[in-house]
Amino acid sequence: MFKKIFNLIDTTIQTAAPEVRWIDFDLGQMEMEQPPVSWPCVLVGFDDTEFLDILSDVQQGRWMVDLKVGFRLRERTHSKAAVSFRTEALEHLDLLHKIHLAMQKATADCISSVSRVAISNEKRADYRVYTIRYAVIAVEGPSDDEKDYKNWKTYDNKPENVDPDFEVILEPEE
């Protein structure tokens, strides 16, 4: 599932925000003195994941995914800066918003929901790094082969009138 979610993020960002020049797993690149990336960049980190059994061999997971969005900026944002400098210095926030809008709508075969849950900003003098955390709801089937995954909505024996984005515990029939 990591691969499926990573590929969804990569494709979504490349399509919606082609100005992002580097998308990769977060391997601590931002902690290096000279980060080995091209700017602007997005680094993908997988954090906590919770699973719930929804059918005998199918689980629904809530994956916490952190996108570190990094920018190399040399412009000034203070209130005394010339308007032209300040406008240019704040343009990176437009790209950050564009990335979020694309991610909030992202979906794939086994991924039914992507939702922003938090955002933070690292205090740095050399470049700007924003971390956007998303909760990704995904369903994993019995096989490790991605082509065998089925979206929750396609299962024949699902309960009626149940929204697939909600966690559901199915009691076994007696």
Indicate if the alpha-carbon torsion angle 130, 30, 40, 128 is positive or negative. Answer: positive
User: What is the dotted CATH code of the domain comprising 2-154?
Assistant: 3.30.2000.10
Q: Has residue 25 got a pLDDT over 80?
A: yes
What average pLDDT score do residues 65-87 get? 83
Q: What secondary structure does DSSP assign to the chain, as a single string?
A: -HHHHHHHHHHHHHHH-TT--EEEE-SSGGGSSS-SS-SSEEEEEEEEEEEEEEETTEEEEEEEEEEEEEE------STTS-HHHHHHHTHHHHHHHHHHHHHHT--BTTEEEEEEEEEEEE--SS-EEEEEEEEEEEEE-S-SSGGG---GGG-TTSPTT--TTS---PPPP-
In the chain, domain spans:
2-154
pTM beyond 0.85, yes or no: no
Percent of the chain with pLDDT over 70: 80
Q: Has residue 169 got a pLDDT over 50?
A: no
The pLDDT tens digits of the residues spanning 110-162 come to 887 899 999 999 988 778 999 999 999 988 877 645 444 445 455 555 555 55
What pLDDT shows up at residue 124? 83
Q: How confident is the model at residue 94 (pLDDT cuts 50, 70, 90)?
A: very high
What pLDDT shows up at residue 143? 63
Separation in Å, CA 84 to CA 62, 78, 88, 91: 43, 12, 6, 11
